[in-house]
Amino acid sequence: AQSVTQLGSHVSVSEGALVLLRCNYSSSVPPYLFWYVQYPNQGLQLLLKYTSAATLVKGINGFEAEFKKSETSFHLTKPSAHMSDAAEYFCAVSTSGTYKYIFGTGTRLKV
Amino acid sequence: EAGVVQSPRYKIIEKKQPVAFWCNPISGHNTLYWYLQNLGQGPELLIRYENEEAVDDSQLPKDRFSAERLKGVDSTLKIQPAELGDSAVYLCASSFGLGTGETDTQYFGPGTRLTVL
């Protein structure tokens, strides 16, 4: 069975500070991992995805995430936060050959 | 390219009333998903369609929820009768479908926020 844990339901940073949103996964097979962002009253927008190619994945809006198999982590980072980054962020896990996404409970970022 | 379209964006109804949500997926996407998102939670899958076939409706409460995708394009999700606990955001997503040779990335619509009074 797969699962995702997002540590910290709320994260607050100052503008210009480093953003670090944590995601740990559990999967018995090689995972595909995703980060989505959800702005107020909007749907989920794909930020980036890991598909077993490069372990460091660059996404939109200056975000990136690094897949660390040894730590079963896929943390999302951005060097310098902007006020427009305030939103809720969801990590999700899937596996090859399936459609099922398992989402974490989300982290609300305040800038 | 147009994204996933959903309507209405907001709906307020009284309990025991019926309600319907509509979704139009991205052109060319064969797979369509309906998700339920409760406040403070991640989305949870209700039903998945491959073209017009519902291939996974195991999480759909069939006593009051129904869905259809008659022509394999747009889809409707219905609740009848609605209960107070149905207040949530209903998200529609679409993807190309498996067999494309790559990860089947899902693209989400803006959702319908349902409030049941």
The mean pLDDT value of chain A amounts to 92
Is the bond preceding residue B43 a cis peptide, omega within 30 degrees? no
Q: Average the pLDDT over each of A35-39, B66-70, B102-106 and give the range with the smallest value.
A: B102-106
Is the bond preceding residue B8 a cis peptide, omega within 30 degrees? yes
Rounded-to-integer distance, Cα A103 and Cα A5, Å: 9
For residue B110, give the chain A residue with the closest CA: A43
Please, which residues 74-103 of chain B have a Cβ atom closer than 8 Å to chain A?
A: 91, 93, 95, 98, 102-103
Highest-scoring range by mean pLDDT, A33-47, A77-91, A94-108, B30-44? A77-91
- Residue B101 has what pLDDT? 47
Mean pLDDT, residues B29-41: 92
Determine which of B7, B23, B37, B46 to mutate to test the interface with A (most A C-beta atoms within 10 Å).
B37
Residues in A touching B103 (Cβ below 8 Å):
32, 49, 51, 94, 96
The mean pLDDT value of chain B amounts to 91
Mean pLDDT, residues A10-20: 97
Mean pLDDT, residues A58-81: 95
State the virtual CA torsion across B60, A46, B106, A23 in degrees, nearest 10: -60
The separation between CA B89 and the C-alpha centre of its own chain, rounded to angstroms, equals 10
Mean pLDDT, residues A82-86: 96
For residue A95, report the phi and psi dihedrals to the nearest 5 degrees: -135, 160
Determine which of B5, B31, B90, B105 to mutate to test the interface with A (most A C-beta atoms within 10 Å).
B105
- Residue B38 has what pLDDT? 93
Residues in B touching A92 (Cβ below 8 Å):
42
- Residue A52 has what pLDDT? 78
